[in-house]
Chains A and B, each alone.
Chain A
Amino acid sequence: MFTTSGRLLDTGDIHVNTILKSQVEYLPRTRRRLLVAVALIGYPAAVAILAGLKHTSLNRWLILAVFLLLLLPTVATLFIGYRYARGRIDGRARLDERDLALRQQAYALSHRVLAAVLIAATAITEIYLTSANTLQFDANSFWPVTAWVIVYIPALPSLMLAWIETDQPAEA
């Protein structure tokens, strides 16, 4: 699925210049948005299903296998999001004025999404505490939250860039 652009391959005496288009860069926006949605929803959904399965009599290894299987689309879509925005979010590629404006928009949208998630998490915690009065914060709840912070906060700008950018024009 992923290709390299402009790489020189040494095949004996012949240098073959392979200019191969990256399919990820030309993904239509509707498909990109679908992938971003999977990336954002996948992990919380997998953790919620894992929490539900823990209370069943299923074998632990089977639960782990189901969890990893659910996690797979999230990892794949996060990678595609990273690949799509590679060099543009971290500024390693040569950015022109449109790229810089787009990067700024992506960071601004990431900030808004993060703020919305934090407000929602605080509100849910508050409602839960009002009804149950206690909140147990142990390894079972700490690690999913930590993993979310470690994975999603750095990935959010790339995902938001993939979300907002319109379909890329052809080179012609």
Chain B
Amino acid sequence: MPDNQRRVHNRLAVLRAERGLSRKQLADNLGINFQTIGYIERGDYNPSLELALTIARLFRLPVEAIFSLQPMTPLSDEIFREPPPAVG
């Protein structure tokens, strides 16, 4: 990734593991090379908007659930986070 490019964080590895997909299988579904999946997971390559949206559609998730400009928090934290106490 060029030095002047901002890193886009992602949950691709977690989502892929959850669904039991190898990089090759996911890449074949997306029509890209499996190395590209590895580079995205490692943060060495930021996918295009088109590829990000295609990945989101494949996982049936909103794109911001997979990609973020901020470091991703663990999914378990987000799922089981206690709601803020009710005021009043």
- Contacts from A to B (Cβ < 8 Å): 94, 96-99, 101, 105, 166, 168-172
Contact B33 A171 (CB under 8 A): no
- Indicate if B61 sits at the interface (CB-CB under 8 A): no
Contact B48 A97 (CB under 8 A): yes
Known: A96-B36, A99-B33, A101-B45. 18 other contacts (CB 8 A): A94-B33, A97-B32, A97-B50, A98-B32, A98-B33, A98-B35, A98-B39, A98-B45, A99-B36, A166-B39, A168-B35, A168-B38, A169-B23, A169-B35, A169-B42, A171-B23, A172-B22, A172-B23
Contact B35 A97 (CB under 8 A): no
CA distance A172 to B20 in the complex (A): 11
Interface string of B29-67 (1 = CB under 8 A from A): 001111111110110110110110000000000000000
- Indicate if B7 sits at the interface (CB-CB under 8 A): no
**Residues of chain A within 8 A of B42, CB atoms compared:** 166, 169
- Indicate if B24 sits at the interface (CB-CB under 8 A): yes
* Interface size grouping (class) on chain B: 20 to 34
A-B contact pairs, 13 of them (CB 8 A): A97-B36, A97-B47, A98-B35, A98-B39, A99-B33, A99-B36, A101-B45, A105-B2, A168-B38, A169-B37, A169-B39, A169-B41, A171-B23
Interface string of B1-17 (1 = CB under 8 A from A): 01000000000000000
Q: Known: A168-B38, A169-B38. Contact between A96 and B24, CB under 8 A?
A: no
Contact A170 B36 (CB under 8 A): no
Kindly report which residue of chain B lies nearest to residue A99, judged by CB atoms.
Answer: B33
Kindly report which residue of chain B lies nearest to residue A166, judged by CB atoms.
Answer: B44
**Residues of chain B within 8 A of A172, CB atoms compared:** 22-23
CB-CB nearest 6 A-B residue pairs? A169-B38, A96-B32, A98-B36, A166-B44, A98-B45, A96-B33
CA distance A99 to B33 in the complex (A): 9
- Nearest chain A CB to B41 CB, angstrom units: 7
- Nearest chain B CB to A165 CB, angstrom units: 9
Kindly report which residue of chain B lies nearest to residue A105, judged by CB atoms.
Answer: B2
